[in-house]
Structure 1
Amino acid sequence: MVQLFPAHSAPRNTKVAIVGAGAVGATIAYACQIHGVAHTIALYDTNATKVRAQALDLAHGSMFTPTTEVVGSADVGVCADADVVVITAGAKQKPGQDRMALAGDNVALCRDLVPRLLAVAPEAILVPVTNPVDVVTRAVLTFSGLPARRVVGSGTVLDSSRLRMLISEHSGVGTPSVRAYIAGEHGDSAVPLWSGAFLGSVPISDWKTDGAPGFPDEIRTAIKHAVTNAAYEVIAGKGATSYAIGLAVAYVLDTILGDQRLILPVTSLVEDFHGITNVCLSLPRLLDRSGAGAVVPLPLAPDELDQLRASAEKIRALCHEFGL
């Protein structure tokens, strides 16, 4: 039978390895498969039965997707020569639990895991997704010794998608016409960058609804609350977030492997941004085949900069607690 959909134009011989075959890791693999992000998707998990089952389940659908080889193993060697390694393994967030509460266990996991991954995939870009992703990104950077651009946390890519969805719903403008970012922590201290938000070519601050400001302070506050509490609501209802983060990470991977040079709010080392330095947090950066590039110039209101500095200090304090 012929393939039902045309093949994606992903570069040949590209490989994505995903560490962790749970809900998030498997959904990232699924999103990568249906979008043709890479020619090989490798799942690695210490649970041999589960990782084999996940790989088989994905491979059984290969007739309906762009040409992709899916493999899974409890041997880290399955990640060999990957172009990108995604890290989803670790303690999972429980209902009502702050992401930062996961830091100790997940930093310890990275200390053991990261050197083993680089032993088999020394040229890979590492993409931490495990929470708290800003702290884990710093741990991966520390334990890998890689240049900062090769450690790219998933950061606030998903948060920014949530923000755009809510702006779209409130304004009645389709999500593709919304440009807005969340920056800072992927967590409770996340910062919506309202001063750089647009609907089409219209700044959010100038948007009118029936002649009145479309996004007054109370609406902005409600939207921020909805963004920062979105994961808690999903986890309370179904136990874990999976679909949206799967799509978000697949989009990041496609941007990297396709050398698309898109601007995305990923977590990487910030070395000097308005006095914020030596901390991993999310800011809009140019993302390409070499990893995370420079932070793009941002219009920031004074209160936004104050919030970003506070977010950075929260992340830095926890990193220091674990010797990072």
Structure 2
Amino acid sequence: MAKNSVGIIGTGNVGVAAAYSIFQRQIAGNLILVDRDHQRAEGEAMDLMHGQSLVGRVMVRAGDYADLADCSVIVITAGVNQKPGESRLELLNRNAAVFREIAGHLDRHAPDAVLVIATNPVDILTYAMQRLTQRPAQRVIGTGTMLDTSRFRAALGEYYGVNPRSVHAYIMGEHGDSEVPIWSSAKVGGLNLFEQTVNGRQFDAQAMERLFQQVKTAAFDIISRKGYTNTAIGLVIAYLVRVILEDQKSVLAVSVDPQGDYGLEDVCLSVPCIVGRDGIESRVAPLINDAELKGMQASAQVLRDSLKGMSID
């Protein structure tokens, strides 16, 4: 298997942003774009290839599922949009049908690849893909709350006047309205926000709640202005792909089945996990307080309710 080959299924706004981020950072030597609209995939590949003299030699081409055979990582951004008058369940079942078709092709042509799921609702579709594919569940990873966590750390960095890379804090649970900020273990430069003064500022519960609400509604705020979100999630996907290809064993908040952590199972939501070449190597379940535990349980129930009636077996 060519360890530097990456496939992207779906060349909409998110797929193209991911391709651009992977290309610009030279994360993969070979990038293969697959889309039902093959001409669109060809156009996106051609456009990126014209930047090689500025970035370096990265081969980008349009292909079909058979061309993904040598890929170590395959990113799935494909999905269908809601039709007028269509219920959420009907939309979920149409997306499940799309994923069933993709799973069949990938099991045939790229059975050993790690799959990165970025299509929304990402937790539901990660759960669906884990059941539709024949590969082990640890090789199917949803981007989950990686973006929410990045937004969270960026906002905390701005509030405390520090580089966001010095902030260690997670958003866990659903990538959506029931997501859970984990304040009890949030740190800046090793200092616990709950217990210590950071850069002259003490923990202010009201200010932190306002900050979290801004994080939670960030996607809606962006969509109301530009119609969609794509660049930040593209960076998230590229980062996750690099972690897998380089076997970094980084701890990331990604969507997985908790398998009993926090009393939760048979659902996919975000908990910190060690991620490497083989996908999820192990889950990291930080200690959380009672309020955060209730939030995680409520988040899991929201997702279980969404799964009711879905045809994914």
What is the aligned partner in structure 1 of residue 114 from structure 2?
125
What is the aligned partner in structure 1 of residue 74 from structure 2?
85
Distance 1:211 1:47, change over 3 A: closer
Task: After superposing the two structures, state which structure 1 stretch, 164-173 or 289-298, moved more.
Answer: 289-298
CA contact under 8 A between 2:73 and 2:114: conserved in structure 1? yes
The aligned amino acid for 2:29 is H
- Pairing 1:272–2:260 present: yes
1:258 to 246, 269, 282: 246
2:298 to 310, 313, 317: 310
What is the aligned partner in structure 2 of residue 143 from structure 1?
132
CA distance in 1 between counterparts of 2:50 and 2:82 reads 30
For residues 31-67 of structure 1, give each alpha carbon's deviation from its aligned partner in whole angstroms, at most 9, with x where no partner exists.
0111121111100001122111100001111112243
Report how far residue 277 of structure 1 moved: 1.2
- Pairing 1:43–2:33 present: yes
What is the aligned partner in structure 2 of residue 58 from structure 1?
48
Which blocks of at least 5 consecutive residues in structure 1 are unaligned? Answer: 1-10
What secondary structure is seen at the aligned counterpart in 2 of 1:322? coil
CA distance in 1 between counterparts of 2:209 and 2:198 reads 18
Report how far residue 91 of structure 1 moved: 2.6
CA distance in 2 between counterparts of 1:108 and 1:231 reads 26
CA distance in 1 between counterparts of 2:285 and 2:258 reads 13
- Pairing 1:287–2:275 present: yes
What is the aligned partner in structure 1 of residue 61 from structure 2?
71
Report how far residue 78 of structure 1 moved: 2.8
Task: After superposing the two structures, state which structure 1 stretch, 216-225 or 20-29, moved more.
Answer: 216-225
Distance 1:194 1:66, change over 3 A: farther
Report how far residue 100 of structure 1 moved: 8.6
CA distance in 1 between counterparts of 2:59 and 2:282 reads 33
Report how far residue 321 of structure 1 moved: 2.3
Percent of residue pairs identical: 37
CA contact under 8 A between 1:17 and 1:84: conserved in structure 2? yes
Report how far residue 189 of structure 1 moved: 0.5
Report how far residue 68 of structure 1 moved: 1.3
Task: After superposing the two structures, state which structure 1 stretch, 164-173 or 200-209, moved more.
Answer: 200-209
What is the aligned partner in structure 1 of residue 24 from structure 2?
34
1:234 to 222, 242, 249: 222
What is the aligned partner in structure 1 of residue 159 from structure 2?
170
What is the aligned partner in structure 2 of residue 198 from structure 1?
187
What is the aligned partner in structure 1 of residue 11 from structure 2?
21
The aligned amino acid for 1:273 is D
C-alpha RMSD of matched pairs (Å): 2.1
CA distance in 2 between counterparts of 1:297 and 1:141 reads 21
For residues 4-31 of structure 1, give each alpha carbon's deviation from its aligned partner in whole angstroms, at most 9, with x where no partner exists.
xxxxxxx975211000011110110110
CA distance in 2 between counterparts of 1:263 and 1:99 reads 32
CA distance in 1 between counterparts of 2:237 and 2:102 reads 20
Report how far residue 103 of structure 1 moved: 2.6
- Pairing 1:246–2:227 present: no
CA contact under 8 A between 1:99 and 1:131: conserved in structure 2? no
CA distance in 2 between counterparts of 1:129 and 1:258 reads 20
What is the aligned partner in structure 1 of residue 144 from structure 2?
155
For residues 122-155 of structure 1, give each alpha carbon's deviation from its aligned partner in whole angstroms, at most 9, with x where no partner exists.
1111111000000000110110032111000111
The aligned amino acid for 1:191 is V
CA contact under 8 A between 1:154 and 1:267: conserved in structure 2? yes
Which blocks of at least 5 consecutive residues in structure 2 are unaligned? Answer: none
What is the aligned partner in structure 2 of residue 7 from structure 1?
none
What secondary structure is seen at the aligned counterpart in 1 of 2:61? strand
What secondary structure is seen at the aligned counterpart in 1 of 2:262? coil
Distance 1:99 1:16, change over 3 A: farther
What secondary structure is seen at the aligned counterpart in 2 of 1:196? coil
Aligned residues: 309
